[in-house]
Structure 1
Amino acid sequence: MVPKGWKETTLGEILTFKNGLNFSKSSSGENIKIVGVKDFKDLAELKDTSTLESIQVESKIRDAELLRSGDLLFVRSNGNKQLIGRCLFFPSVNERLSFSGFTIRGRVSDGKTLPVYASHLVRSELIKSQFSKNGAGTNISNLSQDVLSQATLNLPPTAEQTKIARILSTWDKVIATTERQLANSQQQKQALMQQLLTGQKRFAEFRDQWNHQQLGDIATIVMGSSPRSESYNGNGLGLPLLQGNADIDNRRSSPRIFTSQITKECNPGDILLSVRAPVGHVALSAHHACIGRGIAGLLAHKEHDQSFLYQWLIWFEPQWESISQGSTFESVNSNDIRSLKVMTPPLPEQQKIAQVLSTADAELTNLQAQLAKLKLEKKALMQQLLTGQRRVKLDADAAA
């Protein structure tokens, strides 16, 4: 049903599309910045062009091949199918910018649609779900102008578009602020780990010397062993099975299946260490579970703090690359893990360090929950506003 005052239309009737160019680099010719798929990231808008790649092309770029204020840019093709259909909005373009062959430019052409409203519309599930449907499946590998053009929508009058876009842009700003807070907190946590876990920064009450020890001397390490595949089940028989990073979510165990054959086990609170690519990823077990060969379980000895060891292993994660073996399938073995050198302070200092870092983790968890909640609420609001299920109030002048 079309809301009163709205018009049933398609993206093809309100936008014109143009595929990007496959530029040939040259030692001479026009030097120009190109927007490619790697520049989309998680952005909704591109306001900063300072990081864009500049290349020299063989011939001068025509005006029709440039981006201008109000344009939309879609990911047309990419190895990661999750990126296909993602849209980047250009609210203001003040220099010569072009776009790569893996993208499609959309430009408002009907004179009745606001570019900023269109940018919210094409990022909604209302439209994105049609890309998959019209592209013959959920895992489309290419987005065409035809698929874009076929997407249907109901378009409100300009005054209502303005109000809806203003509301959604306000939500975007709140989400962006929370994302910046989260990024800042993550950087602060990283800096704290570097200082506290290496002894660069000490608490005033602690002066005792730290010790260099092997991981196998300070923790019990259980290397996982995979059960037979015929024992796997979804009926809750046996124990949950943790096989690798696919069974980890936000640094907590998140098993997908059970196994009736129990090989090696872990308990709630045990540290889970990925021993296969990506090697070294760390999590905590929330389950009494069976661990497969992609996981090792660790439990600190009584004279060492489990939380300190967990934080230390998170700090060490990027350094596993120098230890892992195999060019095509990286892994570490029991000896690699047991012989890992760990610098440890006395137990009271371990506990104090772990307490400070755990507090930082709690702040990160809180911000992540806030961000997820904001995104979920905005998604629901978009569905209501962009379909006319929920109408905005217009002042008398705008309504006229």
Structure 2
Amino acid sequence: MEVTSSIPVGWQELSVFDIADRQKARFDDGDWVEALHITNAGVRLIQTGNIGVGSFIEKDNKKYIYETSFVSLKCKPLEIGDLLICRLAEPAGRACILPDIGDAKVVTSVDVSIFRPDPQRFDRGFLVQYLSTPKWFESVVENVGGTTHKRISRSALGKIKVSIPINKLEQSAIATALGDVDALLAAQNALIAKKHAIKQGAMQELLTGKRRLPGFSGEWEVKRLGDHLEFLGNGANSRAELMNDGRVRYLHYGDIHGTNEVLLNPTITAMPFLPEAKAVRLDRLGDGDLVFADASEDLDGVGKSVELQSVGKFEVVSGMHTIAVRFDKGILADGFKAYLQFIPSFQTHLRRLASGTKVYATNMSHIASAEVKLPSPAEQVAISAVFTDMDTELTALEAQRAKAVQLKQGMMQALLTGRIRLV
């Protein structure tokens, strides 16, 4: 198909307010609900946190307002299928379609715009896909105001242009194609969440001895960690002293808290490098060494660590705000050390001793004084192998999800610009 301008033949460019037929009844804000109106039962309240990019997010902690508040505020009841656009960052402009959430009456807050285009001319599935594109968010960002709370006004939101097929059948075909990929992603996300939950349950059982693997029996032994470890020297180098390339990788506090993996492989992690001259007197780390972050912004993060695996051709040193530990491998086996941070008695010990209020700090004496009940090294290896198998499966599932995300992005770029036509 030949495109004679930026708008394909058979498409039109309309503002959000134009799509709402320039009627306030079709494009209005939610209600000015304050804390005094909120209760634990009554009329369901949809808040900004319920609105994701293209999807509705149900929360465990549901909010409601009083029936009397619904009347006194003259609230606008929502309808299933309403498009809800969040005017508050982050990101401002994100939108979803209100599903059937099982409540008879539903309202939303003032920072959410209620968008009800004519269903005879506009497919809301197409619109919610368009309102999830980078182009849309770029337009929103250009109109965002405020200092403490970034938001876009409804009038500014209503002026943003949307490219849309004139034929509703084409809108619906695009919405269906993209919706099918969304369904695939939702299924993949659910499966990944299930696998994570299974692993979490296995960790709670296997790391405490509540469940034993076949072939293992006997009591676990309590070990004082300080009797079986060596603390390694770390650097105190600033970010300005680090380089983009070199030989000595520098494991920083942020690299530990920034990784989602239990095991950190320095050969593939984008860690910065420390110049040789700066690293000369620092202890080199090797496979099986455990590196802790010495502080966390929340108590649950105290004791977070990574175990080095497959260091390979690079040398690795630990840096500022880290505690590097080399354990006796006859007490803590390679692979199992990564899970020390998840053993409940170790977690409890570090969190009890952690100092601070806004930032919780741990230190070498806290780690050394911990007494932990441990299985034999052979059982540790078997336990870590179970977790490794689970991680391998999760990695494969997450790779499949990443491919589906790329597919969705490519489809959006092609279908929501009219570059590829389905009708």
Shorter-chain TM-score above 0.5 = yes
Deviation at 1:306, TM superposition (A): 1.9
Deviation at 1:162, TM superposition (A): 0.9
Q: 1:130 to 1:275 in 2, by over 3 A?
A: same
Deviation at 1:168, TM superposition (A): 1.0
2:11 corresponds to which residue?
6
**Residue type of the partner of 2:55?**
A
Instruction: Assess if the C-alpha contact under 8 Å between 1:240 and 1:255 holds in 2.
Output: no
SS at match of 1:297: strand
Instruction: Assess if the C-alpha contact under 8 Å between 1:70 and 1:116 holds in 2.
Output: no
Matched, 1:107 2:116: yes
232, 235, 238: which one pairs with 1:222?
Answer: 232
Give deviations 1:223-278, integer Å, cap 9, x for gaps: 64422565x13343563333223563332364453333224543455333222114
For residues 143 and 240 of structure 1, what CA distance do their matches in structure 2 show?
43
For residues 51 and 225 of structure 2, what CA distance do their matches in structure 1 show?
41
Q: 1:369 to 1:386 in 2, by over 3 A?
A: same
1:397 corresponds to which residue?
none
2:318 corresponds to which residue?
291
Give deviations 1:201-241, integer Å, cap 9, x for gaps: 112311232111123334433364422565x1334356333
For residues 222 and 144 of structure 1, what CA distance do their matches in structure 2 show?
55
Higher strand share: 1
Q: 1:288 to 1:101 in 2, by over 3 A?
A: farther
Give the RMSD, CA atoms, in angstroms. 3.0
Deviation at 1:180, TM superposition (A): 0.7
1:89 corresponds to which residue?
97
For residues 76 and 204 of structure 2, what CA distance do their matches in structure 1 show?
47
SS at match of 2:326: strand
**Residue type of the partner of 2:168?**
T
Instruction: Assess if the C-alpha contact under 8 Å between 1:311 and 1:357 holds in 2.
Output: no
Instruction: Assess if the C-alpha contact under 8 Å between 2:43 and 2:70 holds in 1.
Output: no
Instruction: Assess if the C-alpha contact under 8 Å between 1:276 and 1:329 holds in 2.
Output: yes
133, 138, 149: which one pairs with 1:129?
Answer: 138
Deviation at 1:144, TM superposition (A): 2.0
For residues 223 and 324 of structure 1, what CA distance do their matches in structure 2 show?
21
1:168 corresponds to which residue?
178
Deviation at 1:313, TM superposition (A): 1.9
Q: 1:101 to 1:179 in 2, by over 3 A?
A: same
1:375 corresponds to which residue?
405
Give deviations 1:119-146, integer Å, cap 9, x for gaps: 1111122312221233379x98212223
More moved, 67-76 vs 341-350? 67-76
Gaps of at least 5 residues in structure 2 are 1-5, 21-25
Q: 1:217 to 1:366 in 2, by over 3 A?
A: farther
Matched, 1:187 2:197: yes
For residues 306 and 225 of structure 2, what CA distance do their matches in structure 1 show?
17
Q: 1:256 to 1:13 in 2, by over 3 A?
A: farther
Deviation at 1:368, TM superposition (A): 1.7
Gaps of at least 5 residues in structure 1 are 395-400
Deviation at 1:194, TM superposition (A): 1.0
1:54 corresponds to which residue?
64
Matched, 1:21 2:31: yes
Q: 1:112 to 1:17 in 2, by over 3 A?
A: same
**Residue type of the partner of 2:46?**
V
Give TM-score, length-normalised by structure 2: 0.81
